[in-house]
Structure 1
Amino acid sequence: MCDVPFGVTQLSERTAEQFVGDAVLRSQKVIDDEADLIPRLHRAVRDVQINEGEIPRGLDPGGVLVRHQALN
């Protein structure tokens, strides 16, 4: 979901103005696809947590929650 080392490098080697200036808006389709996917992932994570199952490998519950909140 998030490449933290890449993000740290990008933020530490450039000014905020450069970072914002290089930003590229995502297409509406990409945003819509994420807005559809993230709530599904959030429901799946919550179901596993409620039923004491195992979180699928590579899925970070905290990251899913934050992205869900950000998209809403």
Structure 2
Amino acid sequence: MKLSDFWDRMEETFGAGYAKSVAADLTLGQLGGRTIDQALADGENAKAVWMAVCRAWPERVPARLVR
């Protein structure tokens, strides 16, 4: 997954303003207690980070984006 695709999905899921806040402020156990921004900065694959988002917010992520 391209990083631009990742951010498109984040914005569709959380809204343009809130997506960046989620990525910067919330830690995820699936990412080793790192934020989304930290995981991406550490070189984690965007697809793996996206799947962690899907697992963390299954009620929020549109089903068609869970892939």
Same fold (TM over 0.5): no
Decide which structure has the larger Cα Rg and report it. 1
Coarse TM-score class (shorter-chain normalised)? under 0.3
Greater strand content = 2
